[in-house]
Amino acid sequence: GAGVSQSPSNKVTEKGKDVELRCDPISGHTALYWYRQRLGQGLEFLIYFQGNSAPDKSGLPSDRFSAERTGESVSTLTIQRTQQEDSAVYLCASSRADVGGRYNEQFFGPGTRLTVL
């Protein structure tokens, strides 16, 4: 079946503008994750959804960042008043339901490359 998809693949914006990044998880995957990868650095965890609730938002770098998820499908990551340090690749991943506490393999999308001028 289809993998995780993200849109847009590339986004160039001016400092101070708001941006929305979209993630479509694999069908049937109830868990969804957002990560950020800045140039030359490792991946940073941002937020995790189980269904449409976000039990952990601790990775969001500031209150300019927010995320929503509709049911067990699409998620949107919104960055308000973008800054140059927000430039990064934003990756989304999904996994199956965490049945009985078992942690499941995460499958990643291709990412959105955000450039803030």
Classify strands 19-24 and 10-13 as parallel, antiparallel or unpaired. unpaired
Residue ranges in 11-40 that form contacts with other proteins under rule CB under 8 A: 31, 33, 35
Question: Should residue 97 be labelled a site residue for other proteins when binding is judged by CB under 8 A?
Answer: no
Task: Out of 14, 63, 100, 103, point to the residue binding other proteins (CB under 8 A).
Answer: 103
The interface region with other proteins, picked from 21-29, 60-68, 70-78, 93-101 by CB under 8 A, is 93-101
User: Which residue among 1, 41, 70, 99 contacts other proteins (CB under 8 A)?
Assistant: 41
Is residue 58 classed exposed, middle or buried when 0-12, 13-18 and 19+ CB atoms within 10 A define those classes? exposed
Q: Where are the alpha helices (DSSP H) in 26-81?
A: none
Residue 5 host element (H or E): strand 5-7
Give the largest CA-CA distance in the chain.
46
Q: Which residues contact 36 (CB under 8 A, 6 or more apart)?
A: 43, 44, 46, 61, 88, 89, 90, 91
Looking at the Cβ atoms of 6 and 82, the one nearer to other proteins is 6
Rule CB under 8 A: say whether 101 interacts with other proteins: yes
Q: Using CB under 8 A as the criterion, which residues of the chain lie in contact with other proteins when the complex forms? A: 4, 6, 31, 33, 35, 41-43, 45, 48, 56, 59, 91, 93, 95, 98, 101, 103, 105-111, 113
